[in-house]
């Protein structure tokens, strides 16, 4: 079986995309409306935030940035589409999709979401 060309040159990490659909629009308008949920999510992931900031778009929609000790978690919201996107890369704390799913359900109280572990 041929070896994967890039396998041994890449450091270990996991990269997830998490999508939340049909989210209450009010939650997605700006950073302050959604950040508490995301902070609790990061706590559950046992990730350490080393730097965080946010940027609110005009007229609405927000980007939340968390640099983690292990890498990053970036949130974008599209209020007009009731949609929230999380880009999460970690090189220390691997987590199973089923566990992520439990965290999302318990925090956001929604059923309509998708978790994708990106294959490299």
Binding site for a copy of itself (CB under 8 A): 6, 9-11, 13, 15, 17, 19, 21-22, 50-51, 53, 55, 63, 65, 67, 71-72, 74, 76, 78, 80-83, 85, 87, 89, 112, 114, 116, 118, 120
Report, in Å, the least distance between residue 2 CB and a copy of itself. Answer: 16
For the bound state, the minimum distance from the C-beta of residue 48 to a copy of itself, rounded and expressed in Å, comes to 12
Rounded distance between C-alpha atoms, residue 16 and residue 40, angstroms = 17
Q: Please, are residues 83 and 77 in contact by the beta-carbon 8 Å criterion?
A: yes
Angle between helices 97-108 and 31-44 (to 10 degrees): 140
Asked whether the beta carbons of 58 and 42 are under 8 A apart, the reply is no
| Cβ nearer to a copy of itself, comparing 6 with 98 | 6
């Amino acid at each position: 079986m041929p070896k994967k060309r890039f396998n041994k040159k890449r450091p270990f990490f996991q990269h997830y995309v998490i999508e939340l659909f049909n989210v209450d629009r009010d939650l997605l308008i700006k950073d302050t409306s959604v950040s508490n949920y995301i902070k609790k999510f990061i706590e559950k992931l046992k990730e350490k935030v080393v730097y965080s900031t946010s940027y609110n778009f005009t007229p609405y929609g927000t980007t939340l940035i968390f640099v983690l000790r292990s890498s990053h978690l970036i949130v974008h919201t599209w209020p007009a589409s009731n949609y929230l996107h999380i880009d999460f890369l970690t090189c220390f704390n691997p987590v199973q999709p089923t566990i992520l799913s439990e965290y999302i359900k318990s925090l956001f109280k929604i059923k309509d979401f998708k978790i994708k572990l990106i294959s490299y």
